[in-house]
């Protein structure tokens, strides 16, 4: 496993174990709060907190599955910037949508924004690779997988289905990933 992906997984698991140990109000201080509890560091720190064993398991599985190949492709330095750009874009998107919808303030936690950014990059650079859904086990091309997941997140977000999941944060992570891909391709430079 490449070094940054491995370090991110270890850091997430270590923070999760601290959460389980209790004693320190990690969610109060480091989750992303869309109200007066907001602090700038929460734009990153929320991504290391998780809301249960299945939450961290699936996020770390996605980080491992998609992050390893993307880190090898991008190199560790750009990969780290890409991942955190996705995390921050997910947070900003969540804060914006929460404010627009007037939703009650609730903390957001989880690495999914970063993972959705990695998912986008995986579908972009490895579109023909086969990915198998866990439930139900349906194989599909990575590009199709990304489109299906993006469409489902948009549908669930607009309809309010699966409440308690930050669907627009997932889409924000994909947006952050797309912006970084465009940056990598030189789309934002003044060179001609």
Residue 180: which of 60, 57, 73 has the closest Cα?
A: 73
Q: What is the 3-state secondary structure (H, E, C) of 53-121?
A: HHHHHHHHHHHHHHHHHHHHHHCHHHHHHHHHHHHHHHHHHHHHHHHHHCCCCCCECCCHHHHHHHHHH
CB contact at 8 A, 70 and 82: yes
Tell me, rounded to whole angstroms, the distance of Cα 79 from its chain centroid: 13
Mean pLDDT of 145-161: 90
- DSSP string spanning 19-42? HHH-SS-HHHHHSB-SSTT--TTH
Q: What pLDDT, in 10s, does the model give residues 16-75?
A: 999 999 878 899 999 999 888 899 999 999 999 999 999 999 999 999 999 999 999 999
Report all structural domains of the chain as residue ranges with CATH numbers, in order of start. Answer: 3-184 (1.20.1540.10)
Q: Each residue of 134-169: b (16+ CB within 10 Å) or e?
A: eeeeeeeebbebbeebbeebeebbeeeeeeebbbbb
The position carrying tokens 């070094």 is 3
Enter the pTM of the model. Answer: 0.92
State what percent of residues in the chain have pLDDT above 90.
76
* Residues 91, 169: Cα–Cα separation, whole Å: 6
Report the pLDDT value the prediction gives residue 161, as an integer from 0 to 100. Answer: 78
pLDDT above 80: residue 155: yes
Residues 83-103 pLDDT 10s: 999 999 999 999 999 888 887
How far apart CA 45 and CA 91 sit, in angstroms, is 10
| 9 neighbors 64 (Cβ within 8 angstroms) | yes
The H or E element that residue 162 is part of is none
Q: Please state, in angstroms and rounded to a whole number, the distance separating the CA atoms of residues 102 and 60.
A: 31
Please give the Cα distance from 64 to 45 (Å, whole number): 20
């Amino acid at each position: 496993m490449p070094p940054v992906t491995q370090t991110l997984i270890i850091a997430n698991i270590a923070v999760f174990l601290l959460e389980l140990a209790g004693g320190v109000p990690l969610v109060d201080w480091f989750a992303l709060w869309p109200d007066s509890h907001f602090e700038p560091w929460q734009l990153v720190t929320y991504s290391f907190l998780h809301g249960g064993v299945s939450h961290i398991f699936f996020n770390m599985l996605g980080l491992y599955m998609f992050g390893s190949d993307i880190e090898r492709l991008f190199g560790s330095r750009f990969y780290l910037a890409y991942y955190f750009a996705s995390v921050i874009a997910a947070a900003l998107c969540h804060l914006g949508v929460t404010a627009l919808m007037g939703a009650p303030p609730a903390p957001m936690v989880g690495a999914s924004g970063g993972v959705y950014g990695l998912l986008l990059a995986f579908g972009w650079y490895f579109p023909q690779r086969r990915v198998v859904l866990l439930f139900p086990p349906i194989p599909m091309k990575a590009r199709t997988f990304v489109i299906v997941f993006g469409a489902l997140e948009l549908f669930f977000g607009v309809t309010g289905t699966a409440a308690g999941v930050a669907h627009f944060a997932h889409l924000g992570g994909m947006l952050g990933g797309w912006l970084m891909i465009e940056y990598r391709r030189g789309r934002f430079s003044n060179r001609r």
